[in-house]
Structure 1
């Protein structure tokens, strides 16, 4: 089932947790703000809903989120992995090279990642 949601190179949720703690990746939650309010988000994650990714993740655009380093790997997650796979494709089309879909918030949490509210 999760083969449907894969997009490019692999990064396990465990590796994402380790690399996020070390400051080696940018973690992005692509769910909408209402979902994040209900469940919390991965500690340190930026919230960039899939619907606004083309605007807020474009380094050339006026609404670019300055906390996104285009030279740093990016790990995306959502609720199940489907939207984060779509988000990975969006970022790849925008020229980001190291983009990973780590699945859903539960994958992050089961791998030892902290949740913040």
Structure 2
């Protein structure tokens, strides 16, 4: 039923690994949920909020709206509410040339792994 969460093994690592990576500055975590969702629940501490529909612009170094903290040179972990949109985000980043991209599922996975949530 939730086969989309498995995906390609190179695209999946645990939320706990993402939490450690954010703490060391080695991983950029991107929340691809809509703004209303983030306002309601908060977002993973240390994450960058980029709604899925804006990701291709914000993650493309050649685009004028690119966010410099999102780089193809870094390890990137993405999450949404349950893992479906973050699977789509992995595909977007793949097309942009990102090679170390991981779907960590949903915000609940982050919380269950001990990650903090901040209200924005």
TM range, smaller chain: over 0.9
Classify the secondary structure of the residue corresponding to 1:91.
helix
Give the CA deviation at 1:20.
1.3
Q: Within 5 Å, give how 1:57-76 maps onto structure 2.
A: 57-76=59-78
1:37-77 C-alpha deviation (Å, 9 max, x unpaired): 00000001000100111111111110001111220100000
Please list every run of at least 4 consecutive aligned residues from structure 1 whose deviation after the TM superposition is greater than 2 angstroms: 5-8
State the partner residue of 2:2. 2
**1:91 aligned residue (90, 93, 105):** 93
Instruction: Give ranges in structure 2 of 5+ residues lacking alignment.
Output: none
**1:16 aligned residue (18, 22, 41):** 18
Instruction: Give ranges in structure 1 of 5+ residues lacking alignment.
Output: none
Paired residues, what number? 117
**TM-score normalised by length of structure 1:** 0.95
Q: What is the aligned-residue RMSD (CA, Å)?
A: 1.0
